[in-house]
């Protein structure tokens, strides 16, 4: 049966600690073995928890009942994976449960398809790190410091960091960029900062023009992971209001999320960071970028 305005169900693992919840949640549902986690999560979100003993034994029937009850709303179900990698947002289309790609996943798909075109676009308006910002980062690091770079892309920033004497672990969530860096003779790892642990410890987590692809919930999750992984954090992101989709340069849709200074400072404080440098830089296109260096509070 097709649903009018079907419910969206966010499937999370039963041991979830820091859920990336980017929208209003109507209710939390959990199986018998996820009651403790469900209680914590429901309290955190300020919504009701409902325990469904038959959730694991009859997943299709129980999810359909939940979807019928919450048409047009988003709910969380804990501890049921449907064979998907969690977290996963699913909708019932009438033929079964379909995974709904997130904005970040759609953006990653654009990079997967157009890595070479992105590399060519850098000459139009480079995202390369400004020397003065790298100088500021150097004030917080010793020679030989270990750096985890999130979203290395073409790897140009990693080269600049290594030229200053740091040991850089190159990573990217797009396999296309990982393969590009490896083809050029560099070690590179496939790492999705939203869904994967960052490892460590490192002296610095570095992310140039990456966090602008994360919504508020995703960035909160990544900042907390970075806090567990490293002593220092350096990143750039764009100043502005809200988010937008753009096909610029790649002719494929990418989601960009912009920030105002005070909310970004507040989020850094909330996730355990003390801001050392918070500066602005402007591109030739008139966009203003924040250059941020922070350390453990």
Q: How many other CB atoms are found less than 10 A from the CB of residue 134?
A: 19
C-alpha–C-alpha distance, residues 2 and 219, integer Å: 34
Question: pLDDT digit of tens for each residue in the chain (297 aa)?
Answer: 444 567 889 999 887 766 667 668 999 999 999 999 999 999 988 999 999 999 988 988 899 899 889 988 999 999 888 888 788 888 877 667 888 888 999 999 999 999 999 998 885 444 445 778 888 899 999 999 999 999 999 999 999 999 999 999 999 999 999 999 999 999 999 999 998 999 989 999 999 999 999 999 899 999 999 999 999 999 999 999 988 999 988 999 999 999 999 999 999 999 999 999 999 877 656 678 999 999 998
The answer to whether the CB of 117 falls within 8 A of the CB of 249 is yes
Helix (H, G, I), strand (E, B) or coil at 49: strand
d(CA 51, CA 62): 11
Pick the CATH number of 105-296 from 3.40.50.2300, 3.40.50.150, 3.30.1490.20, 2.40.430.10: 3.40.50.150
Residue 296's DSSP bridge partners are 273
The radius of gyration of the chain's CA atoms, rounded to the nearest angstrom, is 21
- Res 126: pLDDT: 41
pLDDT of residue 127: 44
Domain ranges of the chain: 8-100, 105-296
Distance CA 30, CA 79 (A): 7
Give the whole-angstrom CA distance, residue 168 versus residue 144: 9
**Which has the closest alpha carbon to 264: 196, 212, 225?**
212
């Amino acid at each position: 049966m097709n649903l009018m305005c079907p419910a969206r169900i966010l499937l999370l693992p039963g041991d979830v600690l820091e859920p990336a919840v980017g929208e209003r949640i109507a209710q939390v549902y959990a199986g018998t073995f996820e009651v403790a986690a469900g209680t914590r999560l429901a309290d955190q979100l300020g919504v009701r928890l409902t325990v469904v003993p038959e959730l694991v034994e009859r997943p299709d029937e129980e999810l359909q009942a939940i979807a019928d009850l919450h048409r047009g709303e988003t709910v969380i179900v804990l501890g049921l994976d449907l064979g998907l990698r969690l977290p996963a947002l699913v909708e019932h289309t009438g033929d079964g449960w379909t995974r709904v790609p997130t904005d970040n996943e759609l953006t990653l798909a654009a990079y997967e398809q157009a890595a070479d075109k992105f590399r060519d676009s850098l000459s139009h308006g480079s995202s390369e790190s400004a020397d003065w910002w790298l100088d500021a980062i150097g004030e917080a690091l010793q020679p030989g410091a270990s750096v985890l770079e999130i979203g290395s892309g073409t790897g140009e920033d990693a080269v600049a960091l290594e030229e200053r004497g740091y040991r850089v672990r190159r990573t990217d969530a797009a396999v296309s960029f990982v393969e590009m860096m490896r083809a050029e003779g560099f070690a590179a790892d496939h790492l999705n900062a939203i869904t994967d642990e960052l490892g460590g410890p490192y002296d610095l987590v570095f992310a140039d023009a990456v966090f602008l692809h994360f919504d508020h919930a995703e960035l909160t999750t990544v900042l907390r992971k970075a806090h567990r992984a490293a002593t220092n954090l350096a990143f750039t992101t764009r100043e502005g209001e809200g988010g937008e989709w753009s096909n610029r340069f790649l002719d494929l849709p990418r989601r960009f999320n912009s920030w105002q200074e005070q909310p970004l400072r507040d989020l850094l404080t909330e996730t355990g960071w003390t801001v050392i440098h918070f500066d602005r830089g402007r591109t030739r296109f008139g966009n203003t970028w924040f250059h941020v260096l922070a350390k453990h509070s």
